[in-house]
Chain A
Amino acid sequence: MEYRTVLTTCTYCGCGCGFYLTVMDGRVVDTIPCKTNPVNEGKLCIKGWNVHEFIHSPNRLTQPLLRKNGTLTPVSWDEALDFTAARLREIKEAHGSDSVAFLASAKVTNEENYLIQKFARAAVGTNNVDHCARL
């Protein structure tokens, strides 16, 4: 028999609401907003309330995929990164730096967000930087 409540933080936006995920027999089945968390005080938005629903989704990506001959094919990280770097360079050279945009994340550290904007501005040469919470 397993019933556990696991205290964790919402993955959706930068607010960082606290909640408990209810685990029954190895599966996450429910979300309960944490009443004592000073950030959300027992409240959640509709995304937070349903956060447990994507955890076991078979549609989640678990490894890099590359479209080869029209079909998404699992590849190594090296191959995926080499391909991405080569295409970014091609696109930039053919259409200019502002043909590329970067989406950072509200759920990573300041330092990582600094790195991605630095990469966008210094390496690629664009100010097209936005973040996931606007998606």
Chain B
Amino acid sequence: MVDEIKARVQQLLASGKIKGFLGLREMHGQVGPYLFTDGSDLDGLVAGDRKSPGDSRYPLNRQLMMIAGHYPKETFGVLIRGCDERGLKTLFSSNQLNPEKVVPVGIACPQELADACECMKPFPDEFVAGEPGEGRPFGTVERIESLTLDERFELWMAEFAKCIKCYGCRNICPMCYCRECTLESKDFVSIGSLPPESPIFHLTRAVHMAGRCIDCGLCNEACPAGIPVRTLYKKVADIVQQEFNLRPGYDSPNAEQSSSSVGEAARH
């Protein structure tokens, strides 16, 4: 997989089409974001599957927004998976990135990762490496919906009580680009108390994910308390699709499947 990515990046850099490629690099024994600017030096470039598929994914689009903000005239390449592509499309339409200045280099996620993510489309429209896996329905949402309302409320309140208010879910989120965040507004969130007001803190963020969350799951991975916030946002995305026929990052929601029928549709 890495060789195909390297070949594509080398070609893009050599042709002068991009000023740099924002990808992942293994250095000093760790994997992190890296901006490659020299096509002849792609040592250490990795796809983000260090010990298990997708175990070292990063919010590259979030970093790209920062770089593009500093160098608006330059064009950059960026490594994307299916979720990152949904992010790019949404960021383009909300005017946070300029599609003419971004060259995505796509990879398809292995089935193991698609299963773990319950990803509806674990591959971008175009990709240079990997085999497209099957989409998966949101089993975690279904499991919680099988509980009674009281049981659900109890479950979420117990989860929210573990919050250490690190703001990691927001900080890692590639779709959180607001200059002013409601979660830092004194009108909504009391300063200096733990756990944060429950369930308002988490539900405020969940509501703000409506029409925005592209279901990358980085929030779950960043949570030191192991709160399954992603499940909450998956449910929010389902509601938004139902009510507004919108699913962020999908071109034509009508043609796309809802999470409950995705397993069926993806095999067609």
Contact = CB atoms under 8 A, between A and B. Distances in A.
Interface of A: 1, 3-5, 7, 18, 20, 22, 24-25, 29-30, 32-37, 40, 42-46, 48-49
A40 B30 CA distance: 12
Interface of B: 19-20, 27-35, 37, 50, 55-59, 63, 66-67, 70-71, 74, 164-168, 171-172, 221-224
Contacts, number: 82
Contact of A44 (B58, B67, B71, B168): B168
Given A18-B30, A22-B63, A44 B166 contact: yes
Given A1-B20, A36-B50, A46-B164, A24 B66 contact: yes
30 contacts: A1-B19, A1-B20, A1-B37, A1-B74, A3-B67, A5-B32, A5-B33, A7-B27, A7-B28, A7-B30, A7-B32, A22-B66, A24-B67, A24-B70, A25-B70, A30-B66, A32-B58, A34-B31, A35-B31, A35-B55, A35-B221, A36-B29, A43-B166, A43-B223, A43-B224, A45-B224, A46-B165, A46-B167, A48-B166, A49-B168
B36 to A, nearest CB: 11
Contacts of B70: 3, 24-25
B259 to A, nearest CB: 25
Among B19, B32, B222, the one with the most A-chain Cβ atoms within 10 Å of its Cβ is B32
Contacts of B167: 46, 49
B10 to A, nearest CB: 19
B166 A3 contact: no
A112 B74 CA distance: 49
Nearest to A1: B71
Nearest to A42: B221
Contacts of B57: 35
A131 to B, nearest CB: 21
B52 to A, nearest CB: 11
